[in-house]
Chains A and B, each alone.
Chain A
């Protein structure tokens, strides 16, 4: 597969939730290239999560969303997802091993266990297989969520603000891990974030939204004072960034 292949192609995406007078996302178009780490940025309520949900087929939308040139339903096994918030009962008695293995619905149990063990080792929580979910720290939980998304061997990983609930050191090590995994597995990564450091340090490209598309391209080419004002309002000052890819 060529490097400039479009893994995600979004055209004129509009989402309006039932009962809402305004659109959550309006006429957004962008693309994500194979092997890249792309960040989706914007303030709270800008539609980042909604865009991700549309990509994953979790909300109804108008427009076109293509993943690997097809509709999501046809390529669902190629996509992994790490949610922003736990949509589940963390207090329910469940081991890390069971949690990660739960999404592997086919195959024999010993093969499933091998896969789970391998992926947990990869994300650095290999010694926690028998620990209960509620016993994990925020950083450990995020790694376990990444492991669950990786266990099906996806070619595209979508993460919705994975740094939520993680301290600064944990955040950096999480993104270091994602960068390493993306390279090792030749995986495309789309990550929603509100951390601008993440954009400059790890991203190959950026998509900025504030309900509508504000900018897209290489971070150091498209992010400037004018763009920040459009995205976050006038109160945010742009100081540039020395380190970039």
Chain B
């Protein structure tokens, strides 16, 4: 028991827990709507594209997270426009953007002179290495995303759940979607700091999928999902530290294991009824 508490006594661990709890709960809430909108591929594309932003940041001397957020927001604004332009179908466009941006990011990082961050830390995340400055940036972006989300939550839910009804109700659906995409892009980028580009979708999808198994209404979904995400993240963090395993993958695996257990429990409950 003492060992468990001791681990959380380290400053680097405290920073990681704060960042992890805030970002994972934010990602989880966004994930509820992302899954409803069937926009997982969008989040994946933004995450991969953000590597180019990171590389540009390193190249020009801007904080990589800030540069990646700016780049990802631009991508998030461009992608929905492809929906309405039929020259290239949107899934093909995303299929192009994903490897292109990631490849471009890796190349730019390799030609950047002087100190550069490890590519692997962007692919799989390294939240234990988060600095005070990075934590501050992550918190700042999280607060901005959180405030806009709370203000626009009703519009986001209506557009994500029933776009036709949203249009009939007179909502400017494209504007609402653009705001959501921008918030999602920011969340994805700050989330990659935790679990990396490759695993970020898990942070968005798994807590929502787990909560959905037991929730009976939207209120329970939005209350339960961040709690589930926090448990997954803190548990994953702790296991990674005590087993000296990589943090991002361990958070993703822990989240996956909790989801599988929840699925098993739900199946059992249905069978016993």
A→B interface (CB under 8 Å)? 18, 56-58, 73, 76-77, 79, 81, 83, 87-89, 92-95, 97-98, 102-103, 105, 130, 132, 148, 152
Can you name 5 extra interface pairs (CB under 8 A) apart from A79-B168, A81-B168, A94-B218? A58-B167, A87-B164, A93-B220, A102-B158, A103-B165
Can you name the residue of chain B whose Cβ is closest to the Cβ of A83? B164
Assembly CA distance A57 to B163 (angstroms): 13
Listed by A's residue number, 16 A-B pairs whose Cβ atoms lie within 8 Å are A56-B168, A57-B167, A58-B168, A77-B170, A79-B168, A81-B164, A88-B162, A93-B217, A93-B220, A93-B221, A94-B218, A95-B217, A97-B217, A132-B217, A148-B165, A152-B169
From A18, A77, A95, A152, give the contact of B216 (CB < 8 A).
A95
Q: Is residue B61 within 8 Å, beta carbon to beta carbon, of the partner chain? A: no
A88-B161, A148-B165, A152-B169 given; A18·B215 CB < 8 A: no
Assembly CA distance A76 to B166 (angstroms): 11
Can you name the residue of chain B whose Cβ is closest to the Cβ of A88? B162
From B36, B169, B221, give the contact of A105 (CB < 8 A).
B169
Q: Is residue B114 within 8 Å, beta carbon to beta carbon, of the partner chain? A: no
**Chain B residues, CB < 8 A from A56:** 167-168
**Chain B residues, CB < 8 A from A18:** 86
**Chain A residues, CB < 8 A from B164:** 58, 81, 83, 87
Nearest 10 Cβ contacts at the A-B interface:
A76-B170, A93-B215, A95-B217, A88-B162, A87-B164, A81-B168, A98-B218, A105-B154, A88-B161, A94-B218
Can you name the residue of chain A whose Cβ is closest to the Cβ of B167? A58
Q: Could you tell me which residues of chain B, from 31 to 83, have a CB within 8 Å of some CB in chain A?
A: 36
A89-B36, A95-B217 given; A81·B155 CB < 8 A: no
Can you name the residue of chain A whose Cβ is closest to the Cβ of B217? A95
Q: Shortest beta-carbon distance, B227 to chain A, in Å?
A: 15
The answer to whether B165 and A132 touch across the interface, beta carbons within 8 angstroms, is: no
**Chain A residues, CB < 8 A from B163:** 87
Against A, the Cβ 8 Å flags (1 = close, 0 = not) of B84-111 are 0010000000000000000000000000
A58-B167, A58-B168, A77-B170 given; A95·B36 CB < 8 A: no
Can you name the residue of chain B whose Cβ is closest to the Cβ of A131? B216
Q: Is residue B130 within 8 Å, beta carbon to beta carbon, of the partner chain? A: no
Q: Is residue B157 within 8 Å, beta carbon to beta carbon, of the partner chain? A: yes
Assembly CA distance A56 to B158 (angstroms): 17
Assembly CA distance A93 to B32 (angstroms): 11
Q: Could you tell me which residues of chain B, from 125 to 181, have a CB within 8 Å of some CB in chain A?
A: 154-155, 157-158, 161-165, 167-171
Assembly CA distance A88 to B212 (angstroms): 16
Interface SS of chain A: loop
Q: Shortest beta-carbon distance, A236 to chain B, in Å?
A: 32
Q: Shortest beta-carbon distance, A141 to chain B, in Å?
A: 13
Can you name the residue of chain A whose Cβ is closest to the Cβ of B221? A93
The answer to whether A92 and B168 touch across the interface, beta carbons within 8 angstroms, is: no
Assembly CA distance A93 to B167 (angstroms): 22
**Chain A residues, CB < 8 A from B154:** 102, 105
**Chain B residues, CB < 8 A from A92:** 36, 161, 212
Q: Shortest beta-carbon distance, A158 to chain B, in Å?
A: 9
**Chain B residues, CB < 8 A from A102:** 154, 157-158, 161-162
**Chain A residues, CB < 8 A from B168:** 56, 58, 76, 79, 81
**Chain A residues, CB < 8 A from B9:** none
Chain A CB count within 10 A is highest, among B36, B155, B167, B212, for B167
Can you name the residue of chain A whose Cβ is closest to the Cβ of B219? A98
Q: Shortest beta-carbon distance, A21 to chain B, in Å?
A: 16
Against A, the Cβ 8 Å flags (1 = close, 0 = not) of B195-216 are 0000000000000000010011
Can you name the residue of chain B whose Cβ is closest to the Cβ of A87? B164
Can you name the residue of chain B whose Cβ is closest to the Cβ of A102? B158
The answer to whether B165 and A81 touch across the interface, beta carbons within 8 angstroms, is: yes
**Chain A residues, CB < 8 A from B36:** 89, 92
Assembly CA distance A44 to B36 (angstroms): 30
Against A, the Cβ 8 Å flags (1 = close, 0 = not) of B214-233 are 01111111000000000000
Assembly CA distance A93 to B168 (angstroms): 23
Q: Shortest beta-carbon distance, B215 to chain A, in Å?
A: 4
The answer to whether B218 and A87 touch across the interface, beta carbons within 8 angstroms, is: no
Can you name the residue of chain A whose Cβ is closest to the Cβ of B224? A93
**Chain B residues, CB < 8 A from A73:** 170
The answer to whether B165 and A87 touch across the interface, beta carbons within 8 angstroms, is: yes
Assembly CA distance A59 to B219 (angstroms): 33
From B86, B158, B219, give the contact of A103 (CB < 8 A).
B158
The answer to whether B169 and A103 touch across the interface, beta carbons within 8 angstroms, is: yes
Assembly CA distance A73 to B169 (angstroms): 10
The answer to whether B165 and A94 touch across the interface, beta carbons within 8 angstroms, is: no
Q: Shortest beta-carbon distance, A156 to chain B, in Å?
A: 12
